Structure 1
Amino acid sequence: MEIKVCGPGCASCEKTQKIVEAAIAATGVDATLIKVTDFQEIAKMGIFSTPAVVIDGDVKSVGNIPKQSQVEDWLR
């Protein structure tokens, strides 16, 4: 599983990354976490607001910080 956290590195993006890391640990899924900070690469995914979470190419969250329980549901 490939998970991307997209954003420039702002506080919301950092918090989102920590939530995703905690969800990966809680569910025990085999996942690679990638931080995407390049706005052109983010825009190519159709994302124009950050933070965003993309799992295996599927955009799950845009412009808000997801709850850990929500991320865990996405990972299952």
Structure 2
Amino acid sequence: MAKIQVLGTGCSKCNYLLKNAEAAASERHAGDTVEKIEDIMQVLEFNPSALPALAINGKIVTSGTLPSPAEIKQYINQSNKLESPS
């Protein structure tokens, strides 16, 4: 299960990224949660280099890009591998 956060100010690109994140979470059937963060103070806590940005489990994985649902699923899988003990 992953916590997916879309960081942005509410522009069309942010909404597009949110749609892709929701699609990725839905396709995974893993109980992932998707949250959109538009409050600029909360966004700045993540220190993104560009917006929109995508965070998984509290860590920025991409900023200034619009990854597809398939790419977002790859980011989630990579994040899960890094967090699980080997």
Q: Do they fold alike, i.e. is TM over 0.5?
A: yes
Q: Aligned-pair distance for 1:4?
A: 0.6
Is the counterpart of residue 49 in structure 1 residue 43 in structure 2?
no
SS in 2 for 1:75: helix
Q: State the aligned residue count.
A: 76
Query: Where does residue 64 of structure 1 map in the other structure?
Result: 65
Alignment partners' CA distance in 2, 1:57 and 1:70: 18
Bigger shift: residues 48-57 or 7-16: 48-57
Structure 1, unpaired ranges of 5+: none
- C-alpha distance after superposition, 1:5-42 (max 9, x if no partner): 01011000000000011111111121121110011111
- Paired-residue identity, %: 25
TM value normalised by structure 1 = 0.90
Runs of 4 or more above 4 Å deviation: none
Higher helix share: 2
CA contact (8 A) 1:27 1:75 kept: no
Indicate the structure whose relative CO is greater, using CA pairs within 8 Å and at least 6 residues apart.
1
What letter corresponds to residue 30 of structure 1 in structure 2? G
Cα RMSD of the aligned pairs, angstroms, is 1.2
SS in 2 for 1:23: helix
Larger Rg belongs to? 2
